[in-house]
Chains A and B, each alone.
Chain A
Amino acid sequence: ETGVTQTPRHLVMGMTNKKSLKCEQHLGHNAMYWYKQSAKKPLELMFVYNFKEQTENNSVPSRFSPECPNSSHLFLHLHTLQPEDSALYLCASSQEGGNNQPQHFGDGTRLSIL
């Protein structure tokens, strides 16, 4: 596989469930990101990991918990979500540490909260 792979592609869960989103990048990049994409709103950066270390948390509620065990994998653990959390969650990766490098996105997980 190449690029950035996200699983599952679709997820429906109740507000009391616990689930995890997975992202894997095969590009050899050292930075990974979680974004939230809602209708008619700009992409919202949630978390940034650089060399497995979290470098940014954009005031994301604690019901979202990221995990980056290595430079190729990124998880987003979800618990006690709210209906307004329904959105497309995108993972991206990039190569940091030099000239600006573009971010490469996965195709996202469509999350629906019942």
Chain B
Amino acid sequence: QQQVKQSPQSLIVQKGGISIINCAYENTAFDYFPWYQQFPGKGPALLIAIRPDVSEKKEGRFTISFNKSAKQFSLHIMDSQPGDSATYFCAAQIVGGASKIIFGSGTRLSIRP
């Protein structure tokens, strides 16, 4: 119930291509879904986030697609660049109190020049 399943574990994409990372959750109490980007030697940094009342959110080249009925959400990176090479974590958060947030296991993305 508390797990967030993330796939794939690693991903290699050519420069200019579309990177897609998928996540699935079980607990319908989750109501905030952030994505974090982590570079080596750095902590995770918030990339983009979505609430379940919308099906899509776009910020620049990054888009979250959200399917509430399927309890799935995904990150799309358009026109992927070498600088996007990092580990990406999806997360699901429960409203109320100090944030109960569950992270996916991460996807290591490599963009080939």
Q: Indicate whether A104 reaches chain B with its CB closer than 8 angstroms.
A: yes
- Counting contact residues on chain B (CB < 8 A from A), the size range is 20 to 34
Answer yes or no: A34 CB below 8 A from chain B CBs: no
A107 to B41, Cβ gap below 8 A? Answer: yes
Taking the closest CB of chain A, its distance from the CB of B21, in whole angstroms, is 14
Residue of A nearest to B5 (CB): A42
> Which of chain A's residues has its CB closest to B47's CB?
A102
Residues of B within 8 A of A56 (CB): 98, 100
Count of chain A residues with Cβ under 8 Å from any Cβ of B? 28
Complex alpha-carbon distance, A44 and B86, angstroms: 19
Q: Which of A14-22, A45-53, A59-67, A79-87 contacts the other chain?
A: A45-53
Of B36, B43, B46, most A-chain CB atoms within 10 Å: B43
Additional A-B contacts beyond A41-B105, A50-B97, A103-B99 (13; CB < 8 A): A33-B98, A42-B102, A42-B105, A43-B89, A48-B99, A55-B97, A100-B32, A100-B93, A100-B99, A102-B34, A102-B49, A105-B44, A106-B43
